[in-house]
Chains A and B, each alone.
Chain A
């Protein structure tokens, strides 16, 4: 059933990976030991350029000559930096950080910079072929950025519509996630027998692969054969066209995402409730406080340190959730009634092939996320606790 060539490929790749990681760590040890040797700088430049040249020859990089030059330059720079700029006591941490740092630079920083460049070019479905054939990227100024704000990333909906919808999406989801999550946690805290079973069952939406869960729900929202409409029928409510009408589509996505996100909040709250010492409640009971009072004065305030990070995480995950919207609205060929910023980005890039436009769009979304992050950091003074540790 599995073609032999694929099997061979896999083993080859596994071996190559292990070798690469080992080579990386070995080169660290090498640098560490021969740091002070006279020939260190020229040797690292040489090794760097030879390595890159070989990689280019093997087909991993485009132009061998350019690659060799970059390699030599990088090696030289690293050697110089290492020898002179970094004081003795920073050697070790720098070396420890090097593998991850280079990976992150390659995989995060470089693509980001490239995307920024791409946003100023005129790349789309039509000009793609020219570029691949070896042409230059071109320069169209801020045109793409302007069209992000003025034209529709998809068919009809505008950027501002998407932005608004994203905030509505995030807000509504958050309210229900926290509300239901807290409610379920409180209920779970009350029972002793069967708590394990309940918790296991209630966690399933989180445990299931999102793809399977979302597709299952999509099936249930099918106008004719889905459970949801059948359920509504039992109350005398007529069928809703969950798949094609604008508002129902969006609502169905929200319902699914709420269902998906409750278990996480529930578990977090349950843990938080667990950590409140019983003695507080006992003291309050002696003082004569009612259950509601105790909830307001003890439970809620003491849950706050737990609530804040989880709400933050939950908000981020919801804001950036592509899976639900994308799969519920029928993927690439589907409707755009529920699209939020990130799913619109994906579609404009990979369904509509508007490459440069999407690059600009991505930069804009990135800016929005940064703005939100900064505001949140200011509000919660999150950075201090991060750096202090």
Chain B
């Protein structure tokens, strides 16, 4: 992976590289420390025996680190249930999102029809809207459809925010596929839909993966909407599960920290691994201009 794809900044020439840059390294180190500091602190708390969060020491690692918190999180709480719920919801959101968005993005990319300009502007505009603005009526709608407090309800709610951006992203990608490929396929004997299905789509798997990844990152870390829609504890996604560890009167900070670390590590790892792809996807969406 690291060998093949150039990452952001890999090629950037070092400006004025003859000058001594110890101070550059110094500043960067300080910045890096500030970046990882909260994570390290949580790590430290998670390794503390008992509930010694209540200490004013500045150190990161406690004197006698223990993994008891981790063990307890993994065995004595509903941690895996929360992860499972998140997985289901996120996976289905990505699946639906990409399936619906792909054909729409293709149509917007390849065809001119009345209303196209309006749709494009509408898509761009919806990215400016926060989900919150629609959350209340969505909540009532879901209630009427009896989808509150179910997987389906949350997935529906997530599709509201992910669909416009996914269409936008995929359209940007389809714009870069040369039309002559589809024309060659049509001359070869395929219909228009056939050329989309058999030539363009297989060629687009990387960008479909990016789109799916985007849906996944949106849905996995989401809290606000899930909190409104899901109510029974066996449906909790992991952010909600995390707050369940935070009881009314007694917060087990050690557990809380351990659970946080357990969730964060894979998320960060996936992000870093896929960030090259994700960023080039954003480029297609026009972020880098």
Contacts and interface: CB of A to CB of B under 8 A. Distances in A.
Are chains A and B touching in the complex at the 8 Å CB cutoff? yes
A306 B54 CA distance: 45
A283 interface: no
Interface residues of A, number: 120
B15 A190 contact: yes
A46 interface: no
A346 to B, nearest CB: 5
Contact of B140 (A2, A114, A216, A270): A114
Contacts of B120: 386-387
B134 A267 contact: no
Interface stretch (B17-25, B64-72, B182-190, B204-212): B17-25
A217 B124 contact: no
Interface in A210-242: 210-213, 215-217, 219-220, 224-225, 227, 230-231
Interface in B73-107: 78, 80-81, 84-85, 88, 91-92, 95-96, 99-101, 103-104, 106-107
B128 A369 contact: yes
A18 B54 CA distance: 50
B9 A309 contact: no
B38 A96 contact: no
A61 B78 CA distance: 33
Contact of B136 (A305, A362, A387): A362
Contact of A210 (B10, B160, B221): B221
Given A201-B36, A211-B221, A342-B130, A93 B111 contact: yes
Given A189-B9, A204-B39, A310 B136 contact: no
A366 interface: yes
Chain A interface, >50% SS class: helix
Contacts of B287: 268, 309-310, 313
Contacts of A322: 130, 132, 224
* Residue picked from A184, A192, A346, most chain B C-beta under 10 Å: A346
B13 interface: yes
A3 B100 contact: no
Contacts of B234: 3, 6
A97 B137 contact: no
A110 B12 contact: no
A110 B36 contact: no
A377 to B, nearest CB: 8
**Size class of the contact patch on chain B:** 35 or more
Interface of B: 7-17, 21, 24-25, 27-28, 31-32, 34-39, 41-42, 45, 53-56, 58, 78, 80-81, 84-85, 88, 91-92, 95-96, 99-101, 103-104, 106-108, 110-111, 113-114, 116-117, 119-121, 124-130, 132-138, 140-141, 143-147, 151-152, 155-156, 159-160, 163-164, 167, 175, 192-193, 220-221, 223-224, 228, 234-235, 239, 242, 253, 256, 260, 263-264, 267-268, 271-272, 275, 279, 283, 286-289
Given A100-B101, A342-B130, 20 more contacts: A1-B81, A3-B234, A17-B96, A25-B99, A60-B146, A61-B145, A104-B163, A108-B134, A111-B160, A187-B27, A191-B14, A191-B25, A203-B272, A207-B267, A208-B268, A212-B263, A216-B41, A271-B283, A310-B288, A316-B127
7 nearest A-B residue pairs (beta carbon): A100-B104, A320-B130, A96-B107, A305-B289, A93-B111, A216-B38, A111-B137
10 contacts: A6-B85, A10-B88, A18-B95, A32-B193, A62-B144, A100-B100, A114-B141, A198-B28, A199-B9, A346-B132
